[in-house]
Amino acid sequence: MASAAVPGELTIGFLPLVDACLPILAREHGFAEAEGLSLRLVRDMSWATVLDRLLYGHSDAAHIVAPLAIATTLGRGRPAQPLSVPFVLGLNGNAITMRPDLARAVNPARASGGGLGDPAAVGAALRAYLAQTGRPLRFGVVHRYSSHNYMLRYWLASCGVRPDVDVEITTVAPPFCADALEFGEVDAICVGEPWNSVAVERGAGEIVLLTAQIWRRGVEKVLALREPVMEDRRGDVEALVRALRKAGEHFVDPANLDANAAILARPEYLDGNATLIRRAISDRLLLSQGGAVLHYPDFMFQHREAANFPWVSQAEWLYSQMVRWDGLSYDSADAEKAARVFRPDVYRSALLGTGDPLPGASSKVEGSLLKPTSVSMQQGVITLENNSFFDGKPFDPMLLESYIAGQAEK
Amino acid sequence: MRIAIVDESASRAAVIREGLAALNDCEIFVVTERRGLVARIGEIAPDIVLMDLGNPSRDVLEEYFAVSRVLGRPIAMFVDESDEESIAASVDAGVSSYVVDGLAPHRIRPILDLAVRRFNAFARLEADLAEAKGKLAEREVVDKAKRILMDSRGFSEPHAYAELRKTAMNQGKRIADIAEAVVTAHQLMGGK
C-alpha cells in the first residue's frame, strides 16, 4: 500500500471527529485543488492505526492528538520517530460528561437549573463527593497521549483531586464513550464531539464542563508528518497549509454551517448525525436530556487569532504535562526535541505574502491574557482574547524547568 | 506459547486461527467481543496478541499494556527495527502485533508471517466474494434487459442478447452497462 510519493498528491489519515473538518473541507470545497493538491483521506478507528499508517507510509500526514506527536518523537511506548507539526488543526472542542446522578451531585449550577459548572466549584464538589463516598471514580479519556487526558488531569490536580489515586483514568474509544457511561464502565468521559452529545441524547450523561473552561485556548489536534517526509515534500506541505487556512475561513462562516455539517456527516467522513454535528460546529451544546441548547462561544476554535499557528510554547506545555503524568524527570534534550516538533517556520513561509496574520514570535507566555489584547504581527495585526488557565497560572516557556518542578510539589 | 487473536470479525478470526493451528506448542485464543476485552486478555495472559488494524479497541488495549500491573509481564507493540520490511508487510496486511517482553524475534516472526499471509488470504477471499456478487447482479440486469427487449420489440431471447452485445461493441461499453441503461430507460418510461 505504501507507494512512491507523487508530487501534488497527499494522503491524510483521520479519525471521525468534528475537528477533522479542515482537511475534509479543504478537499470538498476545492481549496486543496486550487493550491494544486489532490487530497486522499483515510479514515481509521483508533489513534494507534492512524499513527501506524503515518509511520509506515500509508499516509503522508495525519490528524492526530497533539501530545501523541510529541510522545512519538520522544519514543514513549515505541521506538522514537521524529514527527513535525506545521499546522494546528484546532483548539479545544472537548467536554467532560458525567453520569447524570454524578453530574447533579458535583455541579451546583446544574442543581439550581443552570448550565455548565464553574471548574473550581465542580472540582471542590468532586473532592467532597469522593471524601464522602470513599469510592474512587473512573474517568474515560480517548488516549493516554491526548489533550483530553492532560486537561482533565490539570483540572483535577489543581482542585486537589489526585489522578490515579482518587480518580482512575482509563482509555475509551470515542465511539464507545456513550456506551461506557451507560453500562457503568466509567463515571465520566472527556471526549470530543459528537460523542458527548450522543451520550446526552441517550440520557447516559450530562455535560458538566468544557475543556475551553480549563484552558481557554488549549491546543487540541494537529497535522503531523514524519520529519523527513515534511522536508522532502516541503512545497506540497506549504500548499496544504494555505488550503487548510482557506478551509478554516469557510468553516467559521455561519452561512456555511448547514453545508459543512452535511459534508462532515457523510458515511466516508464522520458517518454521523448532521444535526448533532451542526450543533457542535456552531459552538452549541445540549447539556442534559430535555434541557435547552447552550451557546458557548469558542467551544471549538479553528481559525481566528491565528489559531492554527504552531506555537512552540504549546509543544513545551504538552511536554511539561508528559513529564508530570508519565513520572519522568525534566530532560533538557527531550524538552528541545519536543519543542522542535512544532514548526512555526513552515507555517510562516507557507503564508508569507498572503495577508494572513503571522505572529513574529514563535513562542508566547500561555495563559497570560485575561482580556482582549492587540498584538502586532510580522504580517497584519490581531487581537488575542483571554487565553487563561482556569486557575490563573500562566505558563512561561522560559521557565519550563521550574514550572515542571512546581507541578511536582503539589 | 499463548496467542490471542483479537478481531471483531469472527470469520476472519477463524481463518487466522486455522492458519496458526499448524504451529507446534501454541495455544490459540480468539476474542471477538469488545465488551470485557481487557479483562479477557488478562485471563488469557498471552505471549502474543494479534489485532486487526481496523479494531476500534486498539488504543484501549495499548493503554492496558502500558499501565498493566495485572499482567506482571510487560507487553509492547512488536517493532523489530532490524526488520522494517516484515513490520511494514504486517501493516500493509492490516494486522498489529504485541508481544510479551523478552520474547526473541526469531520466535515471533514465523507466527507473524503466518498471520500476515492469512490476513492477505482473507482480504482476497472478500474481494472474490464481492466480485462474485457483482457478477451475479450483472447477470440479473442483463436478463431483465433481454426480457424488456423481448416484450417491447418482439425479439427472441438470442436476438435480444445479440442486440445488447452489438450496441455495447458499437459504443465501446460493457454489456452490463448497456443492459443497465435499458432497464433504467424502461423504468423512466413507466415500465416495471
Asked whether residue A148 is assigned to any structural domain, the reply reads yes
What's the confidence (pLDDT) of residue A200?
A: 95
* Angstrom distance (rounded) from CA A257 to CA A251: 7
Residue A260 lies in a domain: no
- For the stretch A316-346, pLDDT in tens is 999 999 999 999 999 999 999 999 999 999 9
Out of B34, B76, B96, name the one closest to residue A52 (CB). B96
Q: What is the dihedral of CA B181, B187, B190, B192, to 10 degrees?
A: 130
Query: Would you place residue A292 in the very low, low, confident or very high pLDDT band (cuts 50, 70, 90)?
Result: confident
User: Domain B132-188 class?
Assistant: mainly alpha
* Residue A113 scores a pLDDT above 90: no
Mean pLDDT taken over chain A = 94
What's the CATH number of domain B2-127, 3.40.50, 2.40.160, 3.30.9, 3.40.190? Answer: 3.40.190
- Among chain A residues, the shortest Cα distance to B76 is held by A77
Q: What is residue A403's predicted lDDT score, i.e. its pLDDT?
A: 96
CA distance B151 to A21: 52
Number of H-type helices and E-type strands within chain B? 7, 5
In a domain, A52, yes or no: no
CA–CA distance, A251 with A395 (Å, rounded to integer): 30
Assess whether pLDDT exceeds 80 at residue B83: no
Model confidence at B144, pLDDT cuts 50, 70, 90, reads: very high
A373 inside domain: no
| Partner residue opposite B58 with nearest CB, options A49, A172, A183 | A49
Numbered ranges of CATH 1.10.10.10 in chain B? 132-188
Of the two residues B136 and B84, the one the predictor is more confident about is B136
Residues of B in contact with A58 (CB under 8 A): 91-92
pLDDT of residue B87: 81
pLDDT category of residue A399 using cuts at 50, 70 and 90: very high
Q: Which residue of A has its CA nearest to B34?
A: A176
Q: What is the pLDDT of residue B86?
A: 79
Question: Average pLDDT, stretch B31-38?
Answer: 91
Collect all residues of chain B within an 8 Å Cβ-Cβ radius of residue A75: none
What confidence tier does B71 reach under pLDDT thresholds 50, 70, 90? low
Select from A410, A307, A320 the least CA-distant residue to A70. Answer: A320
What is the pLDDT at residue A111?
60
Which of B59, B68, B81 to mutate against chain A (most A CBs within 10 Å)?
Answer: B59
Per-residue pLDDT tens digits for A119-160: 999 999 999 999 999 889 999 999 999 999 999 999 999 999
In chain A, % of residues over pLDDT 90 = 86
Average pLDDT over residues A297-307: 94
Contact A175 B79 (CB under 8 A): no
- Per-residue pLDDT, A226: 98
Q: Report d(CA B163, CA B146) in Å as an integer.
A: 9
Chain B contact probe: residue of A44, A46, A58, A64 with most B CBs at under 10 A: A46
Residue A175 pLDDT level (bands cut at 50, 70, 90): confident
What residue numbers bound the domain in which A117 lies?
A: 94-210
Question: Can you tell me the distance from the alpha carbon of A167 to that of A149, in angstroms, rounded to the nearest whole number?
Answer: 12
Check residue A222 and give its pLDDT: 98
Task: Give the domain CATH number at A110.
Answer: 3.40.190.10
The number of domains in chain A is: 1
Which chain B residues are Cβ-neighbours of A48 within 8 angstroms? 58-59, 62, 96
Question: Rounded to an integer, what distance in angstroms lies between the CA atom of residue A159 and that of residue A203?
Answer: 28
C-alpha cell at A121: 466549584
Reply yes or no on whether the pLDDT at B69 is more than 80. no
Q: Is A268 exposed, middle or buried (0-12, 13-18, 19+ CB in 10 A)?
A: exposed
Where in chain B is CATH 3.40.190?
2-127
Please, which pLDDT band fits residue B192 given cuts at 50, 70 and 90?
Answer: low
pLDDT recorded at residue A6? 87
Q: What is the mean pLDDT of residues A342-356?
A: 96
pLDDT at residue A1 in the model: 47
CB contact under 8 A, B96 and A48: yes
Report pLDDT digits (tens) over A179-221.
999 999 999 999 999 899 999 999 999 999 999 999 999 999 9
Burial degree of A394 (CB within 10 A; 0-12, 13-18, 19+): middle
| B59 closest CB neighbour out of A1, A47, A53 | A47
Is A176 close to B62, i.e. CB distance below 8 A? no
**A/B interface, count of CB pairs below 8 Å:** 66
- Cβ distance B76 to A171 less than 8 Å, yes or no, reads no
Q: Average pLDDT of A295-313?
A: 95
Distance of alpha carbon A15 from alpha carbon A261, whole angstroms: 16
| pLDDT at A104 > cutoff 70 | yes
Question: How far apart are alpha carbons B95 and B82 in whole angstroms?
Answer: 19
Flag whether pLDDT at A410 surpasses 70. no
